């Protein structure tokens, strides 16, 4: 349990996977003093922590509430399901297929339009960093004129999450954004209460919990959470998925020839190169894990990135293979998923089906207008981040059809 491995070190940031393996084998329960937290790295312990109510989400009281306000990500039990269910049906199933797909499709077309008059691009900044956040604003029913504000707000939130409160300027920018989003949304909420549309924001404005309508501040918090939760992860996974396919041309060919494999490429990319590497929990009672006991009221860091590379669950975990059986693709977007990239249990990602739809549209359109795609020969791909990992650039060259 001694602090032999620094999970905040530059080495870890460069390549966490060898250190994950070392933790799993030598320190499955590891107290990391600088963060005052226990660290879990084995798949079975992490899955247990995500599904056992003894691990609460009170951590979001300091990880999420200061930025967004109080939202269902930090609620447990009945309160959590009541609030979660206000939005869940609108971003899955029939509503997703009928109402959201046209918005997703149109948004991708608009962002790809400039790609059609050239043969190279930075996929990360020109597509991935714009697409999911513009989809969210579209499905919320927010106007297109605010696009540049939306992208700016989203970036300051993402920078804040990655910075872990270290840089005062980044923290100050995030709190300024919080005020700007509030000022922008409150008049829109007032308007949607009077003149509802067929969008998710209007649904929230008229939703009731125990017979009581949500307050303006609650709705604002909800929207603010959706912008970051639904933006950053999908943004980074778009680039990881394309990078992985470009580095494995045979599998790229398989996906181009059978578009139903886009979902395999996405899920295997979340396993092989996940965006969310760490989640936190706080124990409400003493819990047993591999290697010992964690006392009540302890902070616990769950290394999702390690679980995704646990060889007891995923055979040959360091290889990228979209055909691997353990992906169990039929369940991969549900709470019964075998991977933990979307979490597990009651807080399993509410946007998993929306993320899948965005991936399908983004790659189908990209393959439709390109004959072939390759990495720019001068590209130096750098994946960075301790809590969430992503690429900062993915320069590509392509031939048009």
Give the interface with ligand HEM as residue ranges (CB under 6 A): 72-73, 84, 91, 225-226, 229-230, 233-234, 237, 270, 275-276, 279, 341-343, 347, 349-351, 354-355
Nearest CB to ligand HEM, comparing residues 121 and 301: 301
Least distance (Å) between residue 320 CB and ligand HEM: 16
The smaller minimum CB distance to ligand HEM, of residues 140 and 205, is found at 140
Closest approach of Cβ 216 to ligand HEM, in Å?
19
Specify the pairing of strand 370-375 against strand 287-289. unpaired
Which residue lies nearest ligand HEM, judged by its C-beta? Answer: 351
Q: How far is the CB of 329 from ligand HEM (least distance, A)?
A: 15
Nearer to ligand HEM, 341 or 396 (CB): 341
Closest separation between CB of residue 341 and ligand HEM, Å? 5
For the CB of residue 168, give the shortest distance to ligand HEM in the complex, in Å.
Answer: 27
CA 198 – CA 182 distance, rounded (Å): 22
* Smallest gap from residue 371 Cβ to ligand HEM (A): 27
Identity of the residue, 7 or 341, whose beta carbon is nearer to ligand HEM in the bound complex:
341
Q: How far apart are the first and last CA of the chain?
A: 57
Which residue lies nearer to ligand HEM by CB, 342 or 398?
A: 342
- Least Å distance between CB 274 and ligand HEM? 7
Q: Pick between residue 178 and residue 347 the one whose CB is nearest to ligand HEM.
A: 347
Q: Are 276 and 303 in contact (CB under 8 A)?
A: no
In terms of CB distance, is 322 or 350 closer to ligand HEM? 350
């Amino acid at each position: 349990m001694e602090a032999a491995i620094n999970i905040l070190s530059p080495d870890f940031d460069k390549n966490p996977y060898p250190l994950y393996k070392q933790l799993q084998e030598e320190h499955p329960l590891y107290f990391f003093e600088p963060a005052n937290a226990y660290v879990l790295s084995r798949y079975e312990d992490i899955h247990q922590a995500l599904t056992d109510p003894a691990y609460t989400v009170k951590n979001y009281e300091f990880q999420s509430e200061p930025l967004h306000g109080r939202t269902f990500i930090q609620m447990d039990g009945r309160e959590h399901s009541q609030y979660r269910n206000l939005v869940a049906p609108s971003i899955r199933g029939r509503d997703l297929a009928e109402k959201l797909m046209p918005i997703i499709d149109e948004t991708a077309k608009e962002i790809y339009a400039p790609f059609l008059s050239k043969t190279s691009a930075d996929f990360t900044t020109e597509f991935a960093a714009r697409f999911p956040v513009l989809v969210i604003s579209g499905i919320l029913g927010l106007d297109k004129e605010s696009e540049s504000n939306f992208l700016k707000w989203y970036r300051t939130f993402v920078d804040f999450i990655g910075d872990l409160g270290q840089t005062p300027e980044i923290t100050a920018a995030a709190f300024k954004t919080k005020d700007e989003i509030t000022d922008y949304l409150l008049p829109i909420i007032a308007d949607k209460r009077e003149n509802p549309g067929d969008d998710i924001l209007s649904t929230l404005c008229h939703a009731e919990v125990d017979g009581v309508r949500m307050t303006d501040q609650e709705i604002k918090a909800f929207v603010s959470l959706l912008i970051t939760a639904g933006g950053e992860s999908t943004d980074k996974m778009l680039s990881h998925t394309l990078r992985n396919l470009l580095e494995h041309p045979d599998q790229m060919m398989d996906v181009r020839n059978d578009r139903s494999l886009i979902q395999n490429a996405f899920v295997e990319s979340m396993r092989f190169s996940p965006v969310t590497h760490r989640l936190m929990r706080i124990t409400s009672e003493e819990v047993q894990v591999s290697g010992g006991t964690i006392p009540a009221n302890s902070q616990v860091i769950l290394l999702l990135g390690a679980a995704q590379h646990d060889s007891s669950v995923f055979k040959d975990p360091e290889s990228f293979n979209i055909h691997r059986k353990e992906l169990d693709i039929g369940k991969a977007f549900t709470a019964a998923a075998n991977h933990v990239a979307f979490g597990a249990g009651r807080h399993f990602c509410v946007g998993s089906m929306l993320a899948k739809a965005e991936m399908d549209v983004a790659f189908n359109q990209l393959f439709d207008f390109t004959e072939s795609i390759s990495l720019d020969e001068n590209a130096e791909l750098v994946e960075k981040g301790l809590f969430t990992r992503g690429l900062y650039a993915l320069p590509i060259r392509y031939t048009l059809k």
